[in-house]
Structure 1
Amino acid sequence: MSAPETGSDEDYVYDGESGEWMPASELAAKQAEQNAVEVRDAVGNILSDGDQVTLIKDLTVKGAGKTLKQGTLIKSIRLTGDDQEIDCKHPGIKGLVLRAEFVRKR
């Protein structure tokens, strides 16, 4: 069986899951959507890159000797690819990674 002939220059690839030939870009988008990690905060809101979150309890930061208090606002989070961890910045603490269960979307 050969790939369908079309007027475009785009490569077609065989998708074993659906049993159809499709454009490579379409298959890549489909696979990326399936592999996307959904990160939820403590109350079930979906988090995304750039969101602001608030801490729901006091957290002692290991290695920094500081405690982040309940209600502390964390701006511009980044998702790490793990469904429970978010990467964020806070003054005086480099490389801060928080668990999603301790934050609430603002």
Structure 2
Amino acid sequence: MSDFIVKDSNGNQLNDGDSVTLIKSLKVKGGGTTLKQGTLVKKIRLTDNHEEVDCKVDGMSIVLRTEFLKKR
């Protein structure tokens, strides 16, 4: 991975294993479900793209954009 800093919607630095909260309800493509605003997402994993993180929510492995996340 490159030496770049991943930041949430408020400009706080995100690291592997951090917990974040969704700031907006999001529809999951192909999942037929919606993640509600305020959902807690634990143990995020950084990707090669500084605008995205991998995580598991309700047993689904998904990629979330950092612009919709707030660090806890």
TM-score (norm 1): 0.65
- Percent sequence identity is 58
C-alpha RMSD over aligned residues: 1.2
Which 4+ residue blocks in structure 1 deviate beyond 6 angstroms? none
Higher strand share: 2
Give 2:58's aligned residue. Answer: 91
Larger radius of gyration: 1
Corresponding residue SS for 1:101: helix
- The gaps in structure 1 that reach 5 residues or longer are 1-31
Higher helix share: 1
Number of aligned residue pairs: give it.
Answer: 72
Any conservation in 2 of the 1:37–1:81 contact (CA below 8 Å)?
A: no
Inter-partner Cα distance in structure 2 for 1:40 and 1:66: 26
> Whose relative contact order is higher, 1 or 2, with alpha carbons under 8 Å and at least 6 apart?
2
Inter-partner Cα distance in structure 1 for 2:27 and 2:21: 15
